[in-house]
A and B are shown apart, each in its own frame.
Chain A
């Protein structure tokens, strides 16, 4: 498709977003995500798009939600402290069903933490960070090439399902540059939200069969109400228990209806493995290295790597772990994804957490030591 080039994880996100048709970025610079803002500031005006530097991350989310209401594909990027500030408006986008993409380049927390060090401490926050039940799709790439393709996919899923999508990066992937050679399968499509059917009455929050109501872009002639209050099919507030139950079940259930389209899980030598490593993001690179090394030595080790980490790939994990001797979940936190793995495995196979919280990447060496103990 194109010649090999040196591309950073952060720049790859920007290129993937642009390829999917993103034309608006609002954000507040923060290490280690700042290069994303820089690249959008450079690239968007050339394409007739808009870059806005906001006063903070609350306003950044507000701006991309507003831009998206006009039908413009919109992205913001942040890290730890900024991501915490965005949670209120992520909940708003979820219940108001406004497509938007948030790139969170994880750094070490809590609070200001270690601004230049990596972490996977936001795994649970991406899913549960807002108050109330809200849907979200979270995608965690592990190479620059994948960051390109998956950010493009994030934009498209957000448009298709009218849901906020979070691209979950980390400092290591954001800041490294690596050889990227795009192939045909990396081609990013441009998918836009479905609009109202001409001639048919428009209900902005219609209880459609596929769970996703049509979106009338502002300025296209439709007058309707968007609110963070729980609303009925017309978009106006309601506290009627039946209507409240209906919209909450539809909004929170719509992703389950399309789960095969949303999930993406990668398997490396998992079928005949005795020990299975479940890892995501940069830690999965260490895990993959261990699988490669130990397979060369004839040892039965494999890896399952959720690319879509939320909704958590319950079925893929359940199937993959069946009959294994043990499961290892390495993470750069005190144990977040391991809780999901334990929930899914439900005691069928022993699950071992391997946690590193000194600001450094889990090494292949330490994963290997644990694998060899368990073999």
Chain B
């Protein structure tokens, strides 16, 4: 890891994005990086606006906030244009949903996170772990092994298996999106 990774996750309270951000932070920490993780939320317990973020860097992290992240994952909207100005110029945007027919900017990816959790895993609660997989699959922020170990550490013992699958499906969907992008770039 040579750069300062700044990852922001946007969702609603109760979706588990704080846990997802903690998992990414622990994985980065285990790989020897400095990390800061935090979250912003309103007074509501569930249903309110919620964002979580992770900063990971080889050098010490003093300023503990993110201005423009280099990875932004949005769980709650498919309107990617609204978020394009909320990322760094070399940043990527990950939207939760199926990609439409219109061409996308190079730095925007659609991953059907909710659908994977709902239809393939039949456990909507695992969507946050699919998120972790998506971020890991689309970036080289942390290794898959470190992320998977962190996932296993942060889910209940009886749910390790399903969350392991959720992570793997998230990574796979991300890799497919990347491959599709490369194929269309070369065609």
Contact = CB atoms under 8 A, between A and B. Distances in A.
Contacts, number: 58
Residues of A contacting B: mostly: mixed
Interface string B37-72: 111111100000000000000000111110100000
B26 interface: yes
Contacts of B36: 176-179
Residues of B contacting A: mostly: mixed
A282 B34 CA distance: 17
A29 to B, nearest CB: 13
Contact of A172 (B29, B38, B41): B38
A38 interface: no
Contact of A286 (B25, B38, B43, B63): B63
A179 B33 contact: yes
B142 interface: no
Contacts of A4: 29
A289 interface: yes
A292 B62 CA distance: 9
B35 interface: yes
Contact of A285 (B22, B34, B40, B64): B64
B29 A285 contact: no
B20 to A, nearest CB: 13
A288 B62 CA distance: 7
A5 B34 CA distance: 10
Contacts of A49: none
A176 B37 CA distance: 6
A311 interface: no
A273 interface: no
Interface of B: 22, 25-26, 29, 33-43, 61-65, 67
Interface of A: 4-6, 31, 115-116, 172, 175-179, 282, 285-286, 288-289, 292, 361, 363-365
A-B CB proximity, top 7 nearest = A176-B38, A289-B62, A289-B63, A177-B37, A178-B36, A288-B62, A285-B62
24 contacts: A5-B29, A6-B29, A6-B37, A115-B43, A116-B40, A172-B38, A172-B64, A172-B65, A176-B64, A177-B22, A177-B35, A177-B36, A177-B37, A178-B34, A179-B29, A179-B34, A179-B35, A285-B62, A285-B63, A286-B62, A292-B62, A361-B63, A363-B65, A365-B67
